[in-house]
Amino acid sequence: MIKARVTVIDIAKAAGVSKSTVSLVLQGSSLVNEGTRSKVNAVMRELGYVYNRGAANLRQAGAKSRIIGVVVNDLTNSFFAELAVGVDMVVQSAGFVQFLSNTGESIDRQREVVASMREHGISGLIVSPARATDAADFKPLVAAGIPVVVVVRNLPGAKVSSIVSDNRAGMMAAVEHLVGLGHKRIAFLGGFPDTAVFDDRLAGYRNGIEAAGLGYDEDLVISSAPSRAGGVEAIGKAIALGRRPTAAVCFNDAVAFGVCDGLRARRLEPGADFAVVGFDDVIEAQAAVPALTTVSVDPQGIGRRGAQMLLKQINAGKAEAETVTTAVRLVVRESCGAGKAAPARAGRA
Amino acid sequence: MIKARVTVIDIAKAAGVSKSTVSLVLQGSSLVNEGTRSKVNAVMRELGYVYNRGAANLRQAGAKSRIIGVVVNDLTNSFFAELAVGVDMVVQSAGFVQFLSNTGESIDRQREVVASMREHGISGLIVSPARATDAADFKPLVAAGIPVVVVVRNLPGAKVSSIVSDNRAGMMAAVEHLVGLGHKRIAFLGGFPDTAVFDDRLAGYRNGIEAAGLGYDEDLVISSAPSRAGGVEAIGKAIALGRRPTAAVCFNDAVAFGVCDGLRARRLEPGADFAVVGFDDVIEAQAAVPALTTVSVDPQGIGRRGAQMLLKQINAGKAEAETVTTAVRLVVRESCGAGKAAPARAGRA
DNA sequence: TGACAATATTGGAACGTTCCAAATAAATGA
DNA sequence: TCATTTATTTGGAACGTTCCAATATTGTCA
């Protein structure tokens, strides 16, 4: 068991040059002679040299650790897994690596992992914050000059960049579609009212309802946990209403699936007897029976976009916070009752 | 914009002690006086000190970076996302952080991320290898004394620890169950024959068939991509067979879902007209219609277990490779036609 | 040939920590 | 009081890189 690490000095000695030259080669400097370069490279390969980024970072004063921190609130939700994959794609091809952690909606955990990432000298952070995250939590990071991009859930008041989907427009489109199908009583089901995302989606719903000349009726807004179970609960309450709705837009796809479950438990067929529209377009949406009509937000795209934005800020050294909202589009499938769509499509590449 | 990093020396100066003492405090040494300790801690808080792990690792000769590398082959598959979450749980609570990367089944990518992780000085690696990974790929890691644990897919020939689920027993149980329901012609659908996992599952199928006194018939083994699309394809071929099977065990749940799709496209109802059993028990399995009878492998459990094993090896300094196969259990739901089970249960905590 | 530029190479001195051996201070025993 | 523990504290010297300023080497032009 030879534990001795091979260092740049070993290489230098073996190649008959100075450590400085080896360092130059490492950084692909054009200053070094072609012959020398290839010799050094050969020796490196031969001795099995592995670059010590820690040491390098030390010298480079925290500038470029080439580590990007990624924090998501629920990795078991495929929406966020996709997001992480999107980030990974661009981060990776830019020669960075991804430090990914899952907070499971715990803000304590979030604090921990962010602190830990900071200790490791991340050069930027992408975060989908846990519920009830304090906007001030990322203050120290940006004060230290570490770019932060908030995705999916925005943090009103925090002076960081953010990318959120156009929740309002998406929900409005969903309502319009249902109105176009002849529905007059459309409920808004699921979600916790204490989040910015909820507010946006609800606002879109309200806009859509009012634009259609239907009266906005508070009774038709039924919040619940943003989960499958929450959906079951919400549809239960909706059906118990005096003037029962004939359609619902849901806070997200998980809720929508729950709503479908709840409908079937009451011998109502989603799509045929009651129209259901989700939000997010998670992978399962197109495969479900009935296939879910939903608002597609392309989490992978958000991830890619967020990563690009972050990299831009890292390279720029200093960047002011920008906020983008990404377009969404309604994907009409079966659960809204708009007729059996063409046979389901294609896998993922 | 004051970029000056606060270092241990700044703290020392401000607290009127030496840097060595500050270092002692940092490591929670019992050598330092209680009064001094609290003073130092106070100053640290005041100046907003952040520990520089890079510098520490440098000195500690790569021993304890407290970084665990996690490499999965497909993060968009919830099976692996769950796995990562399981790892994260134990890794996190042991005070380590997780470096997670997705290879998307690309062995080039895998090589890249592993190299990158090594440069960052990970103290251990958990990997669910991409298809066709060369067992020698992890040789340098273990030679350098970095423990590696392979999960889910084993790497015959590699001298590393591994945790795989008991594929053989699981498939055998599935076959036995179908036999118990009266099926005589049971197909094995999906999966690529070039993987160890495929071999194991097929062996389990064969054992089950022969144990039941049914003849093993090669025609009933139809491989395909281990995906939903592959499932559609496989069931198509199965139905075209002369003596058509009446049931199938599938390579994994994705294939099983595809098989259900394919059945329905031919006006056959999975569960009623043809029995389908999957493998993995992905989250969607219990929510699907019909709920999928499948072999549950608890990816989160494997993740936790793998992480524990890895930590043990890290702490032990040197550990020989051990191999565990984790138990699996058949979860009977609807798709096998064993009668409507009790109403589906409960979410995830 | 000498002066100058261009091209390659190089020895320290950092970077922020931990470790070691040694120093200091305080407490104990005789 | 002095020697001897015991409890704290402390300066360097690493660790493996990068950066800087300086040096060697070569080539070019007059």
The whole-number Å distance from A33's CA to D30's C1' is: 29
Do residue B198 and residue B293 come from a single domain?
A: yes
Q: Is the CB of A327 under 7 A from strand D?
A: no
Distance CA B325, CA A275 (A): 46
C-alpha pair distances (Å), B338 with each of B170, B183, B331? 18, 12, 11
Question: In chain B, what residues touch A257 (CB-CB under 8 Å)?
Answer: 287
Do residue A179 and residue A267 come from a single domain?
A: yes
The whole-number Å distance from A49's CA to D24's C1' is: 29
Q: Which of residues 33-72 of B touch strand D (CB under 7 A)?
A: 33-36, 55, 58-59, 61
Helix (H) or strand (E) holding A330: strand A329-331
Tens-digit pLDDT string for chain B (349 aa): 445 689 999 999 999 999 999 999 999 988 999 999 999 999 999 999 999 998 998 888 655 788 999 999 989 888 899 999 999 999 988 988 888 899 999 999 999 999 999 998 998 999 999 988 999 999 999 888 899 999 999 888 888 999 999 999 999 999 999 999 999 999 999 999 988 899 999 999 999 999 999 999 999 999 999 888 899 999 999 999 999 999 999 999 989 999 998 998 898 989 999 999 999 998 778 867 788 999 999 999 999 999 999 999 998 876 688 999 999 999 999 999 986 433 333 333 3
Domain range for A87 is 67-164+299-326
Q: Has residue B342 been placed in a domain?
A: no
Measuring from the CA of residue B56 to each C1', which nucleotide is nearest? C17
Distance CA A186, CA A118 (A): 47
Q: Residues near B320 by Cβ (< 8 Å), separated by ≥ 6?
A: none
Candidate from A53, A61, A76 with C-beta closest to B120: A53
- The dihedral built from the CA positions of residue B203, B209, B214 and B220, taken in this order, carries a sign that is negative
Q: For residue B303, how far is the Cα from the chain centroid?
A: 5
Q: Has residue A91 been placed in a domain?
A: yes
DSSP letter at A108 equals H
Question: To the nearest 10°, the Cα dihedral for B102, B108, B111, B116?
Answer: -70
Distance CA B326, CA A305 (A): 40
Q: Are A52 and B119 an interchain contact pair (Cβ–Cβ within 8 Å)?
A: yes
**Is the link from the previous residue into B290 a cis peptide, with omega within 30 of 0?**
yes
Q: Has residue B97 been placed in a domain?
A: yes
Quick check: helix, strand or coil at residue A86? helix
Q: Has residue B87 been placed in a domain?
A: yes
Query: Are B300 and B139 within 8 A, CB to CB?
Result: no
Do residue A202 and residue A260 come from a single domain?
A: yes
Give the minimum alpha-carbon distance from B347 to chain A in angstroms, rounded to a whole number: 7
Q: CA-nearest residue of chain A to B345?
A: A229
Q: Is the CB of B115 under 7 A from strand C?
A: no
Q: What is the CATH number of the domain that holds B89?
A: 3.40.50.2300
Q: Are A284 and B289 an interchain contact pair (Cβ–Cβ within 8 Å)?
A: no
Quick check: helix, strand or coil at residue A320? coil
Burial class (CB in 10 A: 0-12, 13-18, 19+), A107: middle
Q: Has residue B239 been placed in a domain?
A: yes
Q: Please give the structure tokens belonging to residue A216.
A: 């906005």
Distance CA B289, CA A271 (A): 15
Distance CA A335, CA A274 (A): 8
Candidate from A5, A97, A287 with C-beta closest to B120: A97
End-to-end Cα spacing for chain A = 44
Q: How many domains does chain A have?
A: 3
Q: Which residue is nearest to nucleotide D20 (CA to C1')?
A: A20
Do residue A286 and residue A319 come from a single domain?
A: no
Distance CA B183, CA B19 (A): 75
Spatial CA neighbour of A321 closest among A123, A149, A152? A149
Q: Has residue A267 been placed in a domain?
A: yes
